[in-house]
Amino acid sequence: MANRNDNPENEGDNLNENNGDDNFGLPDLDYKPLETTEPASTYAKDESENPVETANQSYSYTPAEEPKSNAPIIIAVVIALVLIVASFLIYQYVYKPKAEKAKQELLAKQLADKKKKEDEARLAKEKAEAERKRLEEERAAAAMVTPVGGTIETLSARTGRYYVVVSSDIDDDLIMDFAKKLSAEGISSHIIPPFGKKKFYRIAVGNFDTFADAQASADQLKSKYGDGVWVIKY
In a domain? residue 26: no
Number of domains the chain contains: 2
Task: Give, in order, the Cα–Cα distances in Å from 208 to each of 15, 155, 202.
Answer: 185, 15, 16
Q: What is the mean pLDDT of residues 147-167?
A: 87
Gap between the Cα atoms of 4 and 13, Å rounded? 15
pLDDT reported for residue 31: 52
Amino acid at 33: P
Do 80 and 139 belong together in one domain? yes
Residues 6+ apart with CB under 8 A from 172: 191, 201
Read off the pLDDT band of 92 (50, 70, 90). Answer: confident
Checking DSSP bridges between strand 162-169 and strand 41-45, what pairing results, if any?
Answer: unpaired
Cα–Cα distance, 42 to 55 (Å, whole number) = 6
- Which residue type sits at 133? K
Is the domain of 129 the same as that of 160?
no
71-85: pLDDT as tens digits? 888 899 999 999 999
113 — phi, psi (to 5°)?
-65, -40
Q: Domain for residue 180, yes or no?
A: yes
Domain finish residue from 145, 170, 201: 145
Last residue of a domain, one of 86, 119, 145: 145
pTM reported for the whole predicted model: 0.38
CATH of the domain at 163: 3.30.70.1070
Q: Which of 145, 171, 190 is the last residue of a domain?
A: 145
Whether residues 184 and 225 share a domain: the answer is: yes
Q: Is residue 137 part of a domain?
A: yes
DSSP 193-215: PP-TT---EEEEEEEESSHHHHH
The range of the structural domain enclosing residue 130 comes to 72-145
